[in-house]
Chains A and B, each alone.
Chain A
Amino acid sequence: MTTRTVLPAAQVRPSSARRDTVTLVGRGFRLARRNVDALYTGLALPVILMVLFVEIFGGAVHFGVTYVDYVVPGVLILSAGFVSAQTAVTVNQDMTGGMIDRLKSMDVSGAAVLCGHVVTNMLRNLASLVVALAVSFALGFRPHASPLDWAAALGIILLFIFAFSWLAACVGLVTRSPEGAGNVVFAMIFLPYPSSAFVPIATLPAWIRGFAGHQPITPVVDTFRGLLLHTPTGHSPLVASVWCAGLLAASIALAAALFRRRAA
């Protein structure tokens, strides 16, 4: 007989995707906190972007509203894009390094691995959102909104970020290197510019207005503004919700398929 000591089966609980996700979020959070680049992107960049748009560009923008009130949701989404690029990078690092083989051979599910990255990204984004909003208040952002309006406005932004996190995870799954993954997400970060995020669509060149009016960021920022500043929203809340829910469902399905293909 052998002398090795094995833990009695009763001491080892059956694997649980939820517990694994919590463990992996803990890991992601530790890694994010200690990664200087990611910290800069998460905490300093929102400040820089907010100051840049409100103070530097804002002085030249005149279309009948206080620019800080107008531009806040656009900056929140832009910085969420930068922050979420990190998710594509960390997902890719796990897939291209030895980590995924180790985790799979330990019977940790792909869902737990990906949820770990996405939930970590949501925590990072919450931190940047708080920083960015604090700066926007310091720069004169003065919404007149009830707590319910606030909850709904932040809700739609977070739903969008959640969907985008899964999309970033897909990028991490489909690219060949962490650098490649980061670059693809950075290319996607241009999406807020041709939208109502920074200037009204009516001021954009005619050829891009069609695209700007029918991409997801326009209804999301219009909803945010409508809720906090009581500007007319039209169908924006509905359109934004449908966009976010659709993007979320499609990204999760795509991530699952890509994960199966890559780490069968």
Chain B
Amino acid sequence: MGAAPAITARGLRKSFGALQVLRGIDLEVPAGSVLALLGRNGAGKTTMVRILTTLLRPDAGMAAVAGFDVVSQTHAVRRAISLTGQSAAVDGLQTGEETLFMMGRLWGLSRRQARLRASGLLERFDLADAGRRRVGTYSGGMRRRLDLAASLVAEPAVIFLDEPTTGLDLPSRQTMWAAIAGLAGRGVTVFLTTQSLEEADRLADQVAIIDGGIVAVQGTPGELKTRVGTERLRISFTDRAAYDRALTLLAAHQPVADQAHLRVEVETDGTAAATRALLDAVDPAASLIANFDLRRPTLDDVFFAYTTEPAGSDSSLQR
């Protein structure tokens, strides 16, 4: 199978009035992989999804999905994709079975095929017992699973999921993750937006972070984590004076400060020697440090390193 990308974007721009949401997005998603698009609220994640799913025209730039241009070949794109948006596109007054049957018919399946497909999908998404119940009686997690199932009646090659687990409790979230991981295992290309770094870390082959209307960074979760350092040393101080002094002493190490907890965090290579040297530097008399820990960088660190805060938010709440 060729390595043709399932999704390509070049210089995508989109403004809403005076608000420039996308200022030149470049992105490539290899076929059969999972890309997680991260960004703060309002960073343009949904706008990106709407452009790639032909629901919105970009102001400039080009994008292709499954080899078709999203502006000039909308019908071909739509036949190759599915979209599961933020608000579940299911009717509370229809049953799960009716919902999937309807979607199958709209896709062009015969009645028999649509019925078979509906029961297969209910089985696969653990909804078989609830298939004859109205969707209005479903839990939030079941609704999302049904919504995802509804997007799969056509066996699309590229699937777009806009914040698929927002608002779900942990068990429902894990069930969704298993379902999404299952899709990836079948060779489907998945483009998902999320607020959850844990979700991106678990599911994504590639993570792209958008900030200020461009892709600030893209890579595998592992690559991105090593970009922000190998290990993080976090030191908590007993009093404010020691904390302030440590911040000054560690200025060259680009410390991340948490004044509320009198805590300072710096990057280190994780060796005992380097760690000891840093601890001795800020606390030569071994009396000022309350405790310390070493941790591996997470996607959270990457996220905060590559996104800028919107104006007006309180920076002390960052960590």
Chain A positions near chain B (C-beta within 8 angstroms): 1-7, 11-16, 19-20, 23-24, 26-27, 30-31, 34-35, 97-99, 101-108, 263-264
**Bound Cα distance from A23 to B98, whole angstroms:** 11
Most A CB contacts (10 A, CB to CB) among B98, B107, B160 go to B107
The size bracket of the interface on B is 35 or more
Closest 3 CB pairs of A and B: A2-B187, A102-B89, A98-B89
B55 near A3 (CB under 8 angstroms)?
no
Given A4-B187, A6-B155 in contact, is the A14-B150 Cβ separation under 8 Å? no
A97-B89, A105-B78, A107-B75 given; 5 more Cβ-contact pairs under 8 Å: A13-B108, A14-B108, A23-B105, A101-B53, A106-B106
B88 within 8 A of A: yes
| Set of chain A residues within 8 Å of B108, measured between Cβ atoms | 12-16, 19
CB distance from A18 to the nearest CB of B (A): 12
| Set of chain B residues within 8 Å of A102, measured between Cβ atoms | 83-85, 89, 150-151
| Set of chain A residues within 8 Å of B150, measured between Cβ atoms | 102
A4 near B78 (CB under 8 angstroms)?
no
B155 near A4 (CB under 8 angstroms)?
yes
Tell me the number of A-to-B contacts counted with CB atoms below 8 Å: 99
A30 near B98 (CB under 8 angstroms)?
yes
| Set of chain B residues within 8 Å of A6, measured between Cβ atoms | 155
| Set of chain A residues within 8 Å of B84, measured between Cβ atoms | 102
B25 within 8 A of A: no
Contact of A106 among B103, B160, B187 (CB under 8 A): B103
B59 within 8 A of A: no
| Set of chain B residues within 8 Å of A31, measured between Cβ atoms | 91, 93-94
With CB as the reference atom, state the residue of chain B lying closest to A101: B85
B94 near A23 (CB under 8 angstroms)?
no
CB distance from B195 to the nearest CB of A (A): 18
Given A23-B102, A105-B78, A105-B83 in contact, is the A2-B186 Cβ separation under 8 Å? yes
